[in-house]
Amino acid sequence: MITSILKVFIPATIAFFIGIIITPFFSHFFYRHRLWKRSLRSDTVANPGMSAEFNIIHNAKAEGNTPRVGGVIIWVSVLLTALVIYLAAIIFPGEATSRLNFLSRSQTLLPFFTLIAASLLGLLDDLLQIFGNKNSIVDGLSRRNRVLAVALIGAVGAWWFFVKLGVASVVVPFVGSVALGWLFVPFFILVVLATFSGSIIDGIDGLAAGVLASSFAAYATIAYFQHQIDIAVFCAVITGSILAFLWFNVPPARFYMGETGMVGLTITLAIVAFLTDTVLLLPIIALPLVITSLSAILQRLSKKLCNGKKIFKVAPIHHHFQAIGWPSYKVTMRAWIISVIFAVIGVILALIS
């Protein structure tokens, strides 16, 4: 048992320190090459209907001079951690170094592929926003293309589960396994898209990182008690990498996570939920992502169906709280608290159901 615990915590610690070490180099690179968005959300020409509340809660000057590809630090830290441990096993062969290796075809191949593919997709979106034509309004990939790309990644994951692993059911807490047959494939893709929709939570310094760290820590715990140690290590390494990112992004943020972080992490979170047979607990474990996504959906539906009437002053909901007078740090800290509490609840339900 102690060996398994060490296998989880040692790579997570390595990932944290790798993130701490590489961040100054990446930060220098980000600022040197001015990797921030060229067209700002406060641009009244681009957004003639921009509300006063929205302009109040967004500091255009700060946003316009803050790099937005910080999520690179997270997934690079994960990859470097895996590489360091792999090389250590080769250079210093032995039981101790070989046990730390968490790369396995049965448990971590798919989440690693997902993290890399989705993060690169997000990076492409970020770069299009950064280096787009300055004389036109460029907002990265279109919403349709972004959704299609995410759905394609989800389809690959669904194929892997359905064909390679023979999975065609989901576990309902306190009920048991429910067979879906071929419906498992569209269900899988839908969950991936739904989780990805929560990526809009990256709107306040440190908010998304804290929420995602809690979610991945919860899944590291669940996987550990399921004896899926490699998945537990993978999730713990991501948690360590996120904490290193967060170290440099306690307000004011040095850089934003951007799409390369949010797309990669949210889609990977959905994959891990399927690998641990706890996908129906994902809305509890990642409750802030769900609330954020729902608030934006409800706001859009209300404006469309009720002649422009809004439910929230500004959506997503974290901006609503800012608009009614909450300081950004209060919104962030309370979201972190909610995230930790519901992550713990999700772990408890996973262990007793």
DSSP per residue, 130-186:
HHS-TTS---SS-HHHHHHHHHHHHHHHHHIIIIIS---EEEETTTEEEE-GGGHHH
Residue count (the chain): 353
- The 10s digit of each residue's pLDDT in 7-51 is 999 999 999 999 999 999 999 999 999 998 766 554 433 344 445
Task: Say what the pLDDT of residue 96 is.
Answer: 83
CA-CA-CA-CA dihedral for 155, 160, 161, 162, to nearest 10: 80
Give the range among 41-45, 209-213, 271-275, 341-345 with minimum mean pLDDT. Answer: 41-45
Task: Say what the pLDDT of residue 52 is.
Answer: 59
Average pLDDT, the chain: 90
Task: Say what the pLDDT of residue 77 is.
Answer: 98
Task: Say what the pLDDT of residue 46 is.
Answer: 38
Could you give the CA distance from residue 306 to residue 96 in angstroms, rounded to a whole number?
Answer: 63
Nearest partner of 77 among 27, 31, 21, 32, judged by Cα: 21
- The 10s digit of each residue's pLDDT in 214-242 is 999 999 999 999 999 999 999 999 999 99
Task: Say what the pLDDT of residue 136 is.
Answer: 46
Q: pLDDT confidence of 274, banded at 50, 70, 90?
A: very high
Task: Say what the pLDDT of residue 44 is.
Answer: 38
- The 10s digit of each residue's pLDDT in 81-126 is 999 999 998 998 888 888 899 999 889 999 999 999 999 999 999 9
